[in-house]
Structure 1
Amino acid sequence: MKEIIVSQELLNEFEDIRWFENCGKIEAMELLCSIQQVEGWETAEELDDKEEWEAIISNSRDRLAEFILRKLGYSVRDFNAVVVAVRESQQYKTAIATLNDVIEEKNIKMNLQEL
């Protein structure tokens, strides 16, 4: 298996993620699916349990795998090795700790914590 090297620049970006900062703000971007603006977390959590959302997630995973192969030149198996390398980095661990703090602070339900 080839050695996976993840750039320090990419790893440093993990620590700068501003988790859930834009929740509740209207975003003007073009998406491949329709979106519905909701009033708060309670409504978002109710919609999270719907089958339509599961279909969107599944479709997104498939598109991500295609993107990885086409744009980055990794097979999904190679990409999984990249993910392992990233998860072992201190920057990732710090970012996840920050994410968990935000989740607790905003009282987000457990299912959304499985990111």
Structure 2
Amino acid sequence: MAGHKIYKMSFSSVYPHYIKKAERKGRTKEEVDEIILWLTGYSQKELEEQIDKEVNFEEFFEQAPTLNPARREVKGVICGVRVEEIEEPLMQEIRYMDKMVDELAKGKKMEKILRTV
């Protein structure tokens, strides 16, 4: 199976775009990090190490300590595709993160983004 181009992109090259998107809407880097940590199980230190190592998205998700089971509750459309219908597991993980950052930028409360309510 041929992987998508994004799989080999470094996570650290996309991460600043997540932050910029959130900050343009009055949200913070800390909130973006909270989403990523919730989703992947990384600690803040481990996240920073992954960014410093410039791992690609495939490695980023393969090395994630514990993918949050509640991520399956993330639903909706991102890039014109319903995240819950994406069949390729890695692409679905990437889109979960995209969708959650998008929800943050749209002003949703963290409790709802993290599916704690």
Normalising by structure 2, report the TM-score: 0.30
The structure number with the bigger radius of gyration is 1
Higher relative contact order (CA 8 A, sep 6+): 1
TM-score (norm 1): 0.30
